[in-house]
Amino acid sequence: MQGKIFVPILLQNSKHFCQKIFTFLFVVNSTCINGQMEIHVLCNRKTLGYVSRKNFGDNMDITKCAALILAAGKGTRMHSMKPKVMQTILGTPMFSYVDLALQPVFDDKIFVVAGHGAENIARAFPDIKIVMQKEQLGTGHALLCAMPELYKYEYVLVVNGDAPLITNSVVTDFIDRADGCDVAFASIELDDAGSYGRVVRKNGLVTGIVEAKDLETNARENREVNAGIYFLRIKAIEELLPQLGNNNKSGEYYITDLVGLGVARGMDVRAIKCGKDENLLGVNSPAELCRIEEILRRRTVQKFLNAGVIMHAPDLVRISPLASIEAGAEICGPCEIYGHSEIKSGVFVGSNTVVISSKIFENAQIRAFSHLEEAIVCQNAQVGPYTRLRPQAVVGEDAHAGNFVELKKTTLGKGAKANHLTYLGDTEIGSNTNIGAGTITCNYDGKHKYKTKIGDSAFIGSNTSLVAPVNVGDNALIGAGSVITRNVPENELGIGRARQKNLPKKIQ
């Protein structure tokens, strides 16, 4: 999933269609350069659109700090085969949000402890630095597994991978307040502390964290809990880690025991109080996933409403915080807009539409029940209702893709139309060409995929099968119901169907 996909854009009028295909020389608008456009897919790690860098105080040399994301756990309470951090929130794996919040501060000094489903995480995020925790013996053991990577740093910020609401500013504020300590962690106040570890204090001073499973019943009322984000001096934890035990109800090595051990050794141990900050909530169960997704959904919708995006039924609109939508776009709920999608001003997105990592340019109309994935829709184009645009589909300026039309790796040129019941795969279509209802490109012979090229101002009659590889020239005409297996030169009529016979009707 990681990376950029380059899509050829062939949208302008030209007689030399084939030349266009190979040279990609046309600049369609400011974001299409040399006819290529970047589509960032769901897991792209390097797009930091929604976070900003921050400078720390004089004492803090952030270059000496690394970050560690704990992501090896089984997530038993999710009852899913997927590693918990790969569960999606508004279409993007939870892990991504944590990673994005850390990147502006830590850049390439982020390590990830993975174990259960590590290959799944590595496949989705190939450029992360994974430290393996083969057996999941607890969060303290996860930290221990990462120590060979951490010795050269002064501090490590440890974050649970199941806290997807965390933001760059939460991270930087926490580090600012934790600066200079030996062991620090963020604490929050919850009305229902549930499965969170409780902060234990004596005369106001922190003495330890007790995990929910190990609590005495009377201590369950304690509402100050550990949020699962820690700032640790490496020298201090080198000293404390060998003392971690697993003599508790879970039989696990808890990172949280570093707090009590640090206090016992007279270290500078701090609980950084973060009030009721929702950004620090963790996800352990389907219900918590649902709650957190709803918080992020509402926030994101509100952000776009405030920025001037028109929305109908906003309670039913689900937009990824990674998406960008310009003021003056109009969105109808229910709909889903995920990944690094870009929607420009004047675009209309009808209800029941799904847009994933796609770009939709000015004044394009996406009518109801359409599904777009890694696709590009150019200015003033019309898509839908009921259109499916698969990866590398490009609907050119003023072009139409109508009901029950599927495009895959296909460019529909400027002003071209495929209005009904059509499959176009691995196809390049010139400007002002009309694709009749029921046209199919036969692009696959069971082993390989082949290309179809259709020039400008061609007319493909209804119910045509284009058996690829095949070229149809400019201004060519294809008779309805044809099976086209050979190239049709420009300005010629191609017809390939059984001749009709009319016979006397049998009289019974």
Residue numbers at the binding site for ligand UD1 (CB under 6 A) = 70-73, 84-85, 113, 133, 136-139, 141-142, 160-162, 195-197, 209, 211, 225-228, 254-256, 282, 284
Query: What gap in Å lies between CA 152 and CA 129, rounded to an integer?
Result: 16
What does the DSSP 8-state code read for residue 444? B
Residue listed under structure tokens 């059509």: 422
Structure tokens belonging to residue 369: 């029940």
Active site residue 420: yes
| Nearer to Mg ion (CB atom), residue 252 or residue 374 | 252
Report helix angle 168-178 to 94-106, nearest 10. Answer: 50
Are 426 and 420 in contact by the 8 Å Cβ rule? The answer is no
Distance CA 284, CA 195 (A): 9
Strands 88-89, 92-93: pairing is: antiparallel
Cross-strand pairs, 332: 312
Please, are residues 375 and 366 in contact by the beta-carbon 8 Å criterion?
Answer: no
Can you tell me the distance from the alpha carbon of 427 to that of 408, in angstroms, rounded to the nearest whole number? Answer: 8
Closer of 293 and 426 to ligand UD1 (Cβ) = 293
162 binds Mg ion (CB under 5 A): yes
CA atoms within 13 A on the CB side of 198: 19
| Shorter beta-carbon distance to ligand UD1: residue 84 or 359 | 84
**Strand 353-356 to 335-338 pairing:** parallel
Minimum gap (Å) between residue 185 Cβ and ligand UD1: 9
Q: Alpha-carbon distance 75 to 98, whole Å? A: 17
Q: How far is the CB of 192 from ligand UD1 (least distance, A)?
A: 13
| SS3 category, 323 | coil
Residue placing its CB nearer to Mg ion in the complex, 162 or 277 = 162
The residue (of 141 and 388) whose beta carbon lies closer to ligand UD1 is 141
Closer residue to Mg ion in complex, CB, 164/413: 164
Catalytic residue among 40, 371, 420, 448: 420
Closest residue to Mg ion, Cβ-based? Answer: 282
Cis before 334 (ω within 30): yes
The entry of ligand UD1, Mg ion, none that residue 70 binds, CB within 5 to 8 Å by partner kind: ligand UD1
Which one of the spans 1-9, 54-62, 276-284, 436-444 is the region binding Mg ion (CB under 5 A)? Answer: 276-284
Q: Is residue 284 involved in binding Mg ion (CB under 5 A)? A: yes
In the complex, which residue's CB is closest to ligand UD1?
197
Q: Which is nearer to Mg ion, 227 or 460 (CB)?
A: 227
Q: Contact between 252 and Mg ion (CB under 5 A)?
A: no
Please answer whether residues 463 and 436 qualify as being in contact, where contact means their C-beta atoms are separated by less than 8 angstroms: yes
Candidates 282, 384, 430, 461: give the one binding Mg ion (CB under 5 A): 282
CA dihedral 291, 294, 299, 301 (to 10 degrees): 180
Contact partner, 161, from Mg ion, ligand UD1, none, Cβ < 5-8 Å per class: ligand UD1
For residue 291, the Cα-to-chain-centroid distance in whole angstroms is 19
Give the N- to C-terminal CA distance of the chain in Å, as an integer: 65
> Residue 200 Cβ, how far from ligand UD1 at the closest point, in Å?
11
Q: What string marks each residue from 113 to 152 as x (binds Mg ion by CB under 5 A) or -?
A: ----------------------------------------
Catalytic site residues? 420
Report the interface residues with Mg ion, using CB under 5 A.
Answer: 162, 282, 284
